[in-house]
């Protein structure tokens, strides 16, 4: 299994009445897997995990794993987002039993638990499974703080902690800190890769963006690994005004991703479950400009 390069977080489409569109989700997974990605993640923030029932999460997980089951070249990562440790451990075991190749764990954050309690939660999940685990560190969105030394100490005790998804602002310094010490922990950049160049220079091994324009991230990564520095910077700077606008609010970027998927013909409806973000006319026009600007690089 490989966790690195471009590892998109999958969106969950809903039908016109608000129900999960399982067929649309399968189509989304198949679209992303037709591209040179190394892994996909389900139940990130971009998946609107916090708006799904347990039954819906199980159904979506099973669709994902059904598609990825015959793809040994792609790591299927299922995110464990439950706040209660006992529930998170159960969900982790269920995901692995269903066929997940790896897990992503979002540390508990409701009511600001102490760092020691967060660490105990993470260790309990790590101890419950043997597959690789990515810890998602998103202090801006969750308010949870974890220092690099604590994560490395946890990885010494639980070697299946193999990566950290870094969504600090900026991420580069934290990515660098994770790699200094024993054991070094590889960092993956989230937050739409807004600070991707600095994080890559500091040693990030991959990017976990949304999935609506994966082709652009794949091309960025290709230029990065082949040393096409000027081409990388040109493409990154072209994308940056859109990324920085959308990343001003989580619900805004989720709606933008859904609308892009819909306008590209990958999903039938672009609705998000409420409460969400309603695009205004200028935001809708911005998406049209984005699709026009990168039309030759986006394939459907």
Give mean pLDDT, residues 81-105. Answer: 97
User: Phi and psi dihedrals of 104, rounded to 5?
Assistant: -115, 130
CA distance 290 to 166: 26
What digits encode the pLDDT tens for the residues 242-257? 999 999 999 999 999 9
List, in order of start, the domains of the chain with CATH numbers: 5-297 (3.20.20.70)
Asked if 105 and 146 touch (Cβ cutoff 8 Å), the reply is no
Would the pLDDT of 199 be above 90? yes
**pLDDT tens digits for 98-155?**
999 999 999 998 888 898 999 999 999 999 999 999 999 988 777 778 889 999 999 9
Q: Report the C-alpha gap between 5 and 247 in whole angstroms.
A: 21
pTM of the prediction? 0.94
Grade residue 264 by pLDDT with cuts at 50, 70 and 90.
very high
Which of 197, 207, 203 has the alpha carbon at shortest distance from 229? Answer: 197
Residues in the chain: 300
Residue 269 is predicted with a pLDDT of 96
What integer is the mean pLDDT of 74-89?
Answer: 96
Distance CA 90, CA 83 (A): 12
Q: 166 or 112: whose pLDDT is higher? A: 166
205-217 confidence digits (pLDDT tens): 999 999 999 999 9
């Amino acid at each position: 299994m490989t966790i690195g390069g471009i590892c998109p977080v999958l969106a969950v489409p809903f039908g016109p009445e608000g129900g999960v569109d399982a067929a649309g989700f399968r189509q989304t997974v198949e679209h992303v897997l037709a591209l040179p990605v190394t892994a996909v993640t389900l139940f990130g923030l971009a998946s609107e995990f916090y708006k799904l029932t347990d039954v819906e999460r199980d159904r979506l997980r099973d669709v994902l794993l059904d598609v990825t089951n015959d793809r040994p070249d792609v790591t299927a990562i299922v995110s464990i987002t439950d706040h209660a440790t006992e529930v998170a451990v159960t969900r982790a075991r269920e995901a692995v039993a269903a066929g997940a190749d790896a897990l992503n764990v979002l540390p508990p954050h409701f009511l600001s638990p102490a760092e020691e309690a967060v660490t105990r939660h993470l260790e309990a999940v790590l101890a419950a499974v043997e597959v690789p685990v990515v810890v998602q560190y998103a202090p801006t969105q969750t308010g949870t703080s974890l220092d690099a030394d604590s994560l490395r100490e946890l990885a010494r005790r639980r070697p299946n902690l193999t990566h950290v998804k870094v969504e600090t602002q900026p991420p580069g310094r934290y990515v660098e800190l994770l790699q200094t010490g024993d054991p070094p922990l590889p960092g993956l950049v989230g937050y739409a890769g807004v600070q991707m160049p600095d994080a890559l220079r500091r040693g990030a091994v991959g990017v976990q963006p949304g999935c609506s324009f994966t082709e652009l991230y794949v091309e960025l990564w290709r230029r990065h690994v082949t040393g096409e520095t000027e081409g990388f910077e040109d493409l990154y700077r072209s994308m940056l005004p859109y990324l920085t606008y959308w990343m001003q609010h989580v619900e805004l970027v989720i709606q933008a991703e859904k609308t892009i998927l819909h306008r590209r013909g990958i999903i039938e409806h672009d609705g998000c479950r409420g409460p969400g973000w309603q695009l205004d006319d200028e935001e809708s026009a911005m998406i049209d400009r984005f699709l026009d600007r990168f039309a030759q690089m986006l394939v459907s």
